[in-house]
Amino acid sequence: MLQGRLFVLGLGPGDPDLMTVKAARMIAAAPVVAFFAKQGRKGHARSMVDGQMRHDVEELRLEYPFTTEVAVEDPRYLAGMNEFYEVCAERLRVPLQTGRDVTLLCEGDPFLYGSAMYLFDRLRTECHAEIVPGVPGMSGCWSRANLPMTHGDDVLSVLPGTLDEESLLACLKLCDAAVLIKVGRNLPKICRVLRAAGLFERAVYVERGTMEGEHIVKLAERKDGPAPYFSMVLVPGRRYAR
């Protein structure tokens, strides 16, 4: 067993003020902090903890080999990401082997589409591993949009925009409310599916929710153009009288 402990911290949807008290306390005490980042970028999770870490902290930057440059269905994607996570896990083992605790940062909640879960899976049997939950990005977005999402016995689905149109449409027919994530280049496809499902006029587009540069608008009123990484589409549920 590795002597150090692994702490995976959910940092919330983007606004540092929405970080939990527990996460902030653990960041301030962490001897080693690891975080994911896109090539050439500081890293969103790392930016959220500026000024909160101890002066002698050791930082482990885990730089993605690619993000949106390779499609998920491309065989190179799974192979490349698997290799990346294996290398990251090995980097975290180095301080853990010497008895040093490692704090791994994660945007949103670690177990909700978070990259950190893949390192947790690789290390959980080798050391003490603990998850600190965070406010999910979708919760931050629908709160900022003032958009009640589920009512009574509504069924909520979280749908990746990477699904094919037939699958997306089938899933939308089985739920009352939906959150569509991984929007990016998939936005035109998402719009087509929402139109086919008769939900386009109900949908709300949220970009960089809770963060600087936040933009919230009805999807039908959004101007054409690419959707950034931090964007999602919300479809609220039924609004029956109570």
pTM strictly above 0.85: yes
**Gyration radius from the chain CA atoms:** 19
Tokens matching residue 15: 């606004």
- Co-location of 76 and 157 in the same domain: no
Do 164 and 117 share a domain, yes or no?
no
User: What are residue 232's DSSP bridge partners?
Assistant: 206
pLDDT at 75: 79
The closest alpha carbon to 23, from 33, 5, 11, belongs to: 11
Residue 10 and residue 124 share a domain: yes
Model pLDDT, residue 55: 95
Instruction: Verify that 157 and 221 share a domain, yes or no.
Output: yes
Q: Is the residue at 241 inside a domain?
A: no
How many structural domains does the chain have? 2
Distance of CA 154 to the CA centre of its chain: 24
- The answer to whether residue 165 is domain-embedded is yes
127, 159: one domain: no
39 and 78 housed in the same domain:
yes
- The residue range of the domain holding 96 is 5-135
CATH number at residue 80: 3.40.1010.10
The whole-number pLDDT of residue 225 equals: 82
Per-residue pLDDT of the chain (242 residues; tens, 9 = 90+): 999 999 999 999 999 999 999 999 999 999 999 999 998 889 999 999 999 999 999 999 999 997 766 677 777 888 999 999 999 999 999 999 999 999 999 999 999 999 999 999 999 999 999 999 999 999 999 999 999 999 999 999 999 999 999 999 999 999 999 999 999 999 999 999 999 999 999 999 999 999 999 999 999 999 888 899 899 999 999 766 55
Q: Identify whether residues 142 and 115 lie together within a single domain.
A: no
**Helix-strand-coil percent breakdown of the chain, rounded to 5?**
35, 20, 45
Evaluate whether residue 200 is within a structural domain: yes
**CA pair distance 178, 110, nearest whole angstrom:** 20
Q: Is residue 240 part of a domain?
A: no
My answer on whether 146 and 205 are in the same domain is yes
Residue 14 has a CB neighbour count (10 Å cut-off) of 26
pLDDT of residue 68: 67
